[in-house]
Structure 1
Amino acid sequence: MDGETVRICEVKTIAQGKGKLIRVSYEQRRRDGERQQRQREVYDNGNSAVILPYDPDRKTVLLTRQLRLPIFLQDGTERTVEACAGKLDGEEAERRIEKEVREELGYKVSKLERLLELYVSPAAIMEQIVFFTCAYSPADKVSGGGGLKEEGEDIEVVEITLEQAAAMVANGEIVDAKTVVLVQYLRGRMQAATRS
């Protein structure tokens, strides 16, 4: 996996649980031509998908509220509002996110719109996230959602207007980067559509 400017010297697994923490020693050729030895820790917890379902008639979105231990440890917030997401675990992104919407939000959705693929924290995390949106309506509800207890999920479904979600981003109530991207993307699209 060597590239034009990077040569991997050693990859060592430091810890492995749900994800894997590795230490990579590598040589990097700088822009000035000098070679520099570097070392970095990288966390690989797998790729994922995220979705923000939107009801165009009621102008609402579906979000989740749940415990995110890193955020709790950082600032004491016990339940974080964010978009529905899940690890791909080898599945196609579209198929996986449909399952996550059913498990977490309690809705059966179709006609997913794949928006973009991003790395949210590329300096230290290998995870690539596929972003989606889709239309939904109350008729698509098939259960109360809440996630899978056997996976430790205890998810509250939050249905609010897109404008309320944008206000929560603006006032710091929504701090999850992937959710911020989706809310702002969808809001920009809706504003552009109303101007047309």
Structure 2
Amino acid sequence: MNNNKVKILKTEILSDNWYTLNKVTFEYQKNNGTLETQSREAYDRGNGATILLYNKESETVILTKQFRLPTYINGNADGMMIEACAGLLDKDNPEECIKRETEEELGYEISDVKKVFEVYMSPGSVTEILYFFIAEYSKSMKINDGGGLEEEQEEIEVMELDIEKALEMIDLGEIKDAKTIMLLQHVRLKGIL
């Protein structure tokens, strides 16, 4: 992390409950050469990975449905979100993380995953990079019911949807999660499904 136009002057922890919210004061050299002191808050929740499982033969995808408090607070009537499987890396590399999350949340044991891109999901306020994967699945890969981990207070419904239905759900506003929309559009634009 070296940018000659930026000099970090001070970092203050504003909150360290669930993840870390920092206030960073820095000096920034503008394009005209002048220096400006700025302060920004940056939420550090770690990096994550997400995956879309797809089946070419049945033209289906596996998604999850779970309660998300921030969406409820912001007007999502029941707080439920339909999403692609995802999780924080913790200390794993992205590929190992997403294999673990796929088993915990979806109940599928996968071995071949393909990284398609990585994205800063909210670069104005969150430090997280999200690694996006896709993988083909079959019924034979199902090893448990999924649903997440009780000790992580997860209660996840696993959904197998026709790709056309999933894409229609975006248009109808039933799928509003950015990572999920990006992955569904990726498999369509690339001709995978």
**Common fold by TM > 0.5:** yes
1:150 maps onto 2:144 in alignment:
no
Give the 3-state SS of the residue equivalent to 2:57 in structure 1. Answer: coil
Q: Deviation per CA, 1:20-71, whole angstroms, max 9, x where unpaired?
A: 0000001111111111110000000000000000001101000000001100
Name the amino acid aligned to 1:13: I
Deviation at 1:128, TM superposition (A): 0.3
Deviation at 1:169, TM superposition (A): 1.3
Equivalent pairs counted in the alignment come to 192
2: CA distance between counterparts of 1:71 and 1:47? Answer: 20
Deviation at 1:164, TM superposition (A): 1.2
**What are the residue-to-residue correspondences of 1:183-194 with 2, within 5 Å?**
183-190=184-191
Name the amino acid aligned to 2:70: P
Q: Which residue of 2 is the match for residue 177 of structure 1?
A: 178
Q: Which residue of 1 is the match for residue 113 of structure 2?
A: 112
Q: Which residue of 1 is the match for residue 102 of structure 2?
A: 101
Deviation at 1:2, TM superposition (A): 5.1
Is the CA contact (8 Å cut-off) linking 1:2 and 1:8 kept in structure 2?
no
Name the amino acid aligned to 1:24: V
Name the amino acid aligned to 2:154: E
Unaligned ranges ≥5, structure 1: none
Q: Deviation per CA, 1:146-168, whole angstroms, max 9, x where unpaired?
A: 00011000000011011111111
Name the amino acid aligned to 1:158: M
2: CA distance between counterparts of 1:170 and 1:186? Answer: 16
2: CA distance between counterparts of 1:73 and 1:48? Answer: 23
Is the CA contact (8 Å cut-off) linking 1:108 and 1:140 kept in structure 2?
yes
2: CA distance between counterparts of 1:80 and 1:36? Answer: 41
Q: Deviation per CA, 1:84-118, whole angstroms, max 9, x where unpaired?
A: 00000010111111111111001111110011111
- In angstroms, what is the RMSD of aligned CA positions? 1.2
1: CA distance between counterparts of 2:126 and 2:169? Answer: 26
2: CA distance between counterparts of 1:112 and 1:77? Answer: 33
Runs (4+) off by over 6 Å: none
Is the CA contact (8 Å cut-off) linking 1:21 and 1:43 kept in structure 2?
yes
Is the CA contact (8 Å cut-off) linking 1:65 and 1:156 kept in structure 2?
yes
Name the amino acid aligned to 1:84: C
Q: Which residue of 1 is the match for residue 40 of structure 2?
A: 40
Is the CA contact (8 Å cut-off) linking 1:166 and 1:187 kept in structure 2?
no
Is the CA contact (8 Å cut-off) linking 1:64 and 1:83 kept in structure 2?
yes
1: CA distance between counterparts of 2:125 and 2:78? Answer: 23
1: CA distance between counterparts of 2:115 and 2:79? Answer: 31
Unaligned ranges ≥5, structure 2: none
Q: Which has the higher helix share?
A: 1
Name the amino acid aligned to 2:156: I
Give the 3-state SS of the residue equivalent to 2:95 in structure 1. Answer: helix
Deviation at 1:119, TM superposition (A): 0.3
Over the matched positions of the two proteins, sequence identity in percent amounts to 39
Greater shift, 152-161 or 181-190, is seen at: 181-190
